[in-house]
Structure 1
Amino acid sequence: MSITLIVILVLGFFIFLSAFFTVKQQTAVVIERFGKFLSVRNSGLQLKIPLIDRIAGRVNLRIQQLDVIIETKTKDNVFVKMKVSVQFKVIQDRVYDAFYKLEYPHDQITAYVFDVVRAEVPKLILDDVFERKDDIAIAVKRELNEAMATYGYDIINTLVTDIDPDIQVKNAMNRINAADREKTAAEFEAEASRIRIVAKAKAEAESKRLQGQGIADQRREIARGLVESVDVLNKVGINSQEASALIVVTQHYDTLQSIGADTNSNLILLPNSPQAGSDMLNNMVASFTASNQIGESMKKGGKRIKDADVPSEPPTYPAAEPEPEA
């Protein structure tokens, strides 16, 4: 067998093998014959005519993502960088349009994203951009779907994944946020302080009320005890005036005794001389006598004593007992 024949057989074998090719899953292959579109082949083992048909290109049918970063300005003149993620795929029935009508799909999608974002964001202030980023994404998707459907592309979703204002703007926003939180904290602290003050005032008022009630009850019991003591003394022949004087003198000496019993007491009760008791008793008896005389004269006259009927020298009343001094 000659060498020429061997070469022809080898070339024929390789030509025969080139007639077969495989297409991967979620991929489409465009076949051309003499430079003209022939067919679109899907996944699996495929056959073409060697030296006549050729594979013009392969089209990815899977969902792809394109991240577009746009710098634009808001309505309140704040420059922001936005990252928009576009998820798209080639429509399986329109591989011809996707392959032949659009050479650089990524550039086309990027241009539309820039156009929509720079038309929508300048209508909003910075705070609204953060709050309405979903509206911006919907506007981008709507515009892309209308434009890219002509070229055989389907826009699955668009997402505004990042909004990055200028660093000085972010610092200012952080300061505003911190000041607002400090204001809120101060308001809560003031409210808590007010509640504490009101509660304390109510507690003090209740304490004073109970203290006054206790003092009133104490004085009521003292008065009841004095009445009972006077009644007992009246039964043994001592009149009310003498009984009252005797009770006062007795309480005076009881007070002195209680003061002397306390070794740590610095209280001095005046007067505390030996004749102080008898002086006090005499003054009280004289006071009661003068009081009775005035009362009798008022009864006889049948009317109240006017200022003109008062004697030129009014009766002298005993001096009040001095208060204890610390």
Structure 2
Amino acid sequence: MDYFGYGVLVFALIILFSSFVTVKQGTIAVITIFGKYQRLLRPGLSLKIPLIEVIHSRISIQNRSVELSFQAVTQDQANVYFKAMLLYSVLNHDEETIKNVAFKFVDSNNLMQALIRTIEGSIRAYVATQKQANVLAQRNEIVEHVKHQIDQVLESWGYHLQDLQLNDITFDEEIMRSMSRVVASNNLKAAAENEGQALLITKTKGAEADGNAIKIAATAEREAAQLRGQGIALFREEVAKGMTNAAHEMQQANLDTSVILFTMWTEAIKQFAEYSEGNVIFLDGSTEGMNNTMKQMMAMQLNQKPAADKK
């Protein structure tokens, strides 16, 4: 009897402790009775019917990640190698969603295999429509295509694709070398074009500066010539006024005005002698020559008098 009592006590304790269930945070437990779905247990301490209710599975509602590595072929028959990181989670915490996750696949390995193959197939289908030269520049387009294609499929399984990152996209070694040569030649071409543009700009700016300098110099020269002309005109005007006043005074004093012409002629000869730079001027210094010169100057004076009288 004592052994029987101890056995009953132990059995009762086992039944008692099996009635308590602890569910970790971020996990939901699925309870079945004789293989049929019964209810869900949320995180924390819960009770279940001993020996009747069974924990079928514990569903993680946290984000999960998996790394992918696979190959695809482009439209122009180039092999492309992808390394990607997939981030997914349970769609929501609703009872129907958790039931779908718990009973859709036999186990998590089957789910993972189906998920990976679905994403690989979607990427391969997209890459097959693109040429090798366009694949590297279409990371975002590939990700958007995959999300659009498999979102509905994953939702039917009770999951949601959080993110897909294409960490590495490579080609066969020969293709990579040819792409490097193309990039290098394009860089050299761009550098040559930039240098040509810089040289053209420099030459253009230099030509513009020279043109502006020539314009400024021409304007300054024109203004200087105008000022010189105005100065010469003023000088001539003052000389004419002075000669007119001198001739008027000499006429009033009954003096010969031809002396003015003779004085100007001698002053001109003096200027030639002082400021000449080696030029030779031949002058007739004889009496006959002087008389001829005086006659010519007096004739010029007589020709100018009618014009002065008219004024």
TM-score, normalised to structure 2's length?
0.69
- Asked whether the equivalents of residues 80 and 163 of structure 1 are also in contact (C-alpha less than 8 Å), the reply is no
Task: Name which of 278, 294, 300 aligns with 1:270.
Answer: 278
Match runs of 1:171-320 below 5 Å: 172-173=182-183, 176-177=186-187, 179-180=189-190, 182-226=192-236, 228-229=238-239, 232-233=242-243, 235-236=246-247, 237-238=257-258, 242=262, 245-255=265-275, 269-271=277-279, 278=283, 289=296
Report the CA distance shift for 1:210/1:279 in structure 2 as closer, same or farther (over 3 A): farther
Cα separation, 2, equivalents of 1:203 and 1:53:
101
Cα separation, 2, equivalents of 1:241 and 1:80:
108
- 1:235-294: CA deviations, max 9, x gaps? 3524786566445434324425xxxxxxxxxxxx1137xxx58569x79x86x959x89x
Match runs of 1:1-326 below 5 Å: 2=2, 5-75=5-75, 79-91=79-91, 92=93, 93-102=96-105, 103=107, 104-125=110-131, 128-129=134-135, 132-155=138-161, 157-162=162-167, 164-166=169-171, 167-168=176-177, 169=179, 172-173=182-183, 176-177=186-187, 179-180=189-190, 182-226=192-236, 228-229=238-239, 232-233=242-243, 235-236=246-247, 237-238=257-258, 242=262, 245-255=265-275, 269-271=277-279, 278=283, 289=296
Report the secondary structure of 1:123's partner residue. Answer: coil
Shift of residue 97 of structure 1?
A: 2.5
Shift of residue 214 of structure 1?
A: 0.9
Unaligned runs of 5+ in 1: 257-268, 297-326
Cα separation, 2, equivalents of 1:76 and 1:204:
61
Cα separation, 2, equivalents of 1:105 and 1:190:
64
Q: Which amino acid letter does the alignment assign opposite residue 147 of structure 1?
A: V
Report the secondary structure of 2:102's partner residue. Answer: helix
Unaligned runs of 5+ in 2: 248-256, 304-311
Which range is displaced more, 103-112 or 230-239? 230-239
Matched residues, number = 274
Percent of aligned pairs sharing the same letter: 18
- Asked whether the equivalents of residues 233 and 239 of structure 1 are also in contact (C-alpha less than 8 Å), the reply is no
Q: Which amino acid letter does the alignment assign opposite residue 117 of structure 1?
A: I
TM-score, normalised to structure 1's length?
0.66
Report the CA distance shift for 1:159/1:232 in structure 2 as closer, same or farther (over 3 A): same
Cα separation, 2, equivalents of 1:81 and 1:251:
99
User: What is the Cα-based RMSD across aligned positions, in Å?
Assistant: 3.9
Shift of residue 17 of structure 1?
A: 0.4
Shift of residue 37 of structure 1?
A: 4.4
Shift of residue 121 of structure 1?
A: 2.4
Q: Which amino acid letter does the alignment assign opposite residue 151 of structure 2?
A: N
Q: Which amino acid letter does the alignment assign opposite residue 40 of structure 2?
A: V
Report the CA distance shift for 1:76/1:16 in structure 2 as closer, same or farther (over 3 A): same
- Asked whether the equivalents of residues 85 and 167 of structure 2 are also in contact (C-alpha less than 8 Å), the reply is no
Report the secondary structure of 1:270's partner residue. Answer: coil
Q: Which amino acid letter does the alignment assign opposite residue 98 of structure 2?
A: V
